[in-house]
Structure 1
Amino acid sequence: MKNPHFNPHKKHHRPDGFQNNYQSFRGKRWNELLRWRWQAWRAGHPKAITTPIEVVRPDLAFIQGNAQAGLAMQPAATWVGHITVLLQVGGLNVLTDPVFSERCFPVQWAGPKRHTPPGLQLSELPHIDVVLLSHNHYDHLDEGSMRALARQAGGPPLVICPLAHKKWLHRWGLQRVVELDWWDTHVIDATERNLRVPVVLTPAQHWSARTATDALRSLWGGFAMLSPDCHVFFAGDTGYSKDFVDIRQHFAREHTPEHGGGFDLALLPIGAYEPRWFMKDQHVNPEESVQIFQDIGCKQAISVHWGTFQLTDEALDEPPRALAKALAASNISPERFAVLPVGGSMRVPHRMR
């Protein structure tokens, strides 16, 4: 199948799809899958949780009031669970990879099931202006959640996503879709609010597949959202690579001290990483996530991609413990790389310029 977006001058493009910048993705063979599952069974993985995953009632008064504040909005982030975060920045309500369904699977009667409920129900969300969609895996691109957002009061959100996702989104009722290649910029221009917010698709080391025959046919990535009041980085799903040093260099001019410094907030994955021989090229572990935190030069981070779906061999509650050790080893305060409860919110200081 030919890649309609193919550009021979871009090293991550292939005639039939896409690839990573620094390590080409190779799908695991059947014998590797069997080896993983055999080793996990013999070792009794995943282990049961020993520390309950904290779930709190969201501060709906703050969230809804903030949603109506326009440009006086307090920059904030609320962890809905897994990879889904409600960002309130620049007068916009933004969702990252919305997943509200009970299971992340093609059908809702099988596959990984939620261990924690969404921190916000779909009915409790403010009107969502923008969805940042990182790629098409089922724990990131969830049909039921996207169809629900297409029906939200006030009209569907704008969806900003990597190349080759429109076919699914249009089918589900989302017609306002902007596809980006790595380093492309879309400026959210809300004239009635006197608002212009650049959103840049950044590289990640991962892969894509929605079916058994479409691996690497759509692009994946992270996002930099450069609102005047808060610069946010959302890593999406990723293994560790030099891409994050490149990202810091790419935004160096916007992040000089006189322009307010580095990213004010980063959403960084810390879960779904064991066994390393199987997961390392696609998912970071907490130690590598701390390295990303340092590479991109952000001021503060929130831990995501853990505590909701049992996808890999580590216990569901293990990532925060591993993160605490990695932060201590790098002499970074745990307050700078927060582990929020599901439903918890973080208020982020306004960007100083």
Structure 2
Amino acid sequence: MTEQTASTEHTAPAEPTPADPTETGPRPLGQVRDWPRSFADRLTAPLPGVRAMARLAREGAVRPSAEGLRDIPRLPFDPEPLPAVDPATVAVTWAGHASWIVRIGGLTVLTDPVWSRRILGTPARITPVGVRWEDLPPVDAVVISHNHYDHLDAPTIRRLPRDTPVFVPAGLGRWFRRRRFTRVTELDWWEAAELRGVRFDFVPSHHWSKRTLTDTCRSLWGGWVLTDTHGQRVYFAGDTGYGHWFKEIGRRHPGIDLALLPIGAYAPRWWLRDVHTDPEEAVQAFQDLGARIMAPMHWATFVLSSEPVLEPLTRLLAAWQQAGLPRDHLWDLPIGSSRLLD
């Protein structure tokens, strides 16, 4: 199931007051924990009501028009060999959508790996994967933002060795343990774990979770902040709407060097505003975070919504320029390309 948004027909539930991550140390790796049956109290907007569903069905605005699809051949795709790195170097490679190869602190970390050509309920990907699976270095860890099909892809997960360390939101560990993964670490918002000197902090996002008809909000959703021993810091937002969490993430994790932020799957706006940032909101989120560099993602891969396929980048570039931000601090990478942090 690809994600759909919440309408604003009802008042959102109150949010819990999170603890400060400096109050507790990293959680033990692989710890099996008890979680609430539902995380619906973490929603920052209500889920769709009957009227919103009826309006979507009436308007039928879930895919771009033929004109909106005509720029598919122009989407940025430029695969290249992965750059050589040492343990002090941070490098990122965009494989497409929300899938990144992040090399930090000597680790190779995959974010929301989706190497499948097709996901449930969505047309086949409109650009190939930017890095062939067989060209990946050994994977040291995987982070998952939430359980929607375009972020948690079972066929891709099956390719991983079962002893791969996996970092997942609270409540999602049993999905992996059922598939015989042996090193699964579940975290709540503002909790952290460490692997070979790299810290994995799980942070909030404005989103939700659902994978079947009966598991709405049964697991949590969020983003990840990865920090190496030199203090180099990469923020992977996962999937999120715009809201107050960005300033709080920036306050608790100052000095983010690189923010991987979603810019696509935002139209129609009345339907997707609560769960997906549009390009202008992504620029605002970047500023709220106080990050140094932004790399856009969550576009140019799957057709999940009705905006023209090239529009997210066009609007992002305009918003970036309007905000007066340095052009070289925006890494609008083609799929398959890499950058190294200074």
Aligned-pair identity in percent equals: 38
- Structure-2 change in CA distance of 1:215 and 1:41 (3 Å): closer
Q: Which runs of 5+ in 2 are unaligned?
A: 1-13, 19-34
Q: TM-score, normalization: structure 2?
A: 0.85
Alignment-derived partner of residue 17 in structure 1: 38
Q: TM-score, normalization: structure 1?
A: 0.82
Alignment-derived partner of residue 4 in structure 1: none
Can you list the C-alpha shifts for 1:299-321, whole angstroms capped at 9, x where unaligned? 10110100000001101211000
Output the CA distance in 1 between the equivalents of 2:216 and 2:183: 25
Q: Is the 8 A contact 1:129 1:158 kept in 2?
A: yes
Output the CA distance in 2 between the equivalents of 1:302 and 1:178: 27
SS at match of 1:301: strand
Alignment-derived partner of residue 228 in structure 1: 229
1:58 has 2:51 as partner: no
Looking at both structures, which has the greater relative contact order when contacts are Cα pairs under 8 Å and sequence separation is at least 6? 2
Output the CA distance in 2 between the equivalents of 1:121 and 1:315: 27
1:87-102 equivalence runs, <5 A: 87-102=102-117
What is the identity, as a one-letter code, of the residue corresponding to 1:18?
Answer: F
1:10-89 equivalence runs, <5 A: 10=16, 16-19=37-40, 24-40=44-60, 45=65, 47-50=68-71, 52-60=74-82, 62=83, 65-66=84-85, 69=86, 71-72=87-88, 74-89=89-104
Output the CA distance in 1 between the equivalents of 2:258 and 2:243: 20
Can you list the C-alpha shifts for 1:150-192, whole angstroms capped at 9, x where unaligned? 36xxxx421111101112112223221100000001011x3xx
SS at match of 1:224: strand
Q: Is the 8 A contact 1:49 1:317 kept in 2?
A: no
1:114 has 2:130 as partner: no
SS at match of 2:110: strand
Q: Is the 8 A contact 1:143 1:172 kept in 2?
A: no
Alignment-derived partner of residue 126 in structure 1: 137
Alignment-derived partner of residue 240 in structure 2: 238
- Structure-2 change in CA distance of 1:335 and 1:150 (3 Å): same
Can you list the C-alpha shifts for 1:90-117, whole angstroms capped at 9, x where unaligned? 1010010000011121xxxx53311011
Alignment-derived partner of residue 170 in structure 1: 177
Q: Is the 8 A contact 1:146 1:172 kept in 2?
A: no
Identify which of 341, 347, 351 aligns with 2:334: 341
Number of residue pairs matched?
A: 310
Identify which of 248, 251, 256 aligns with 2:250: 248
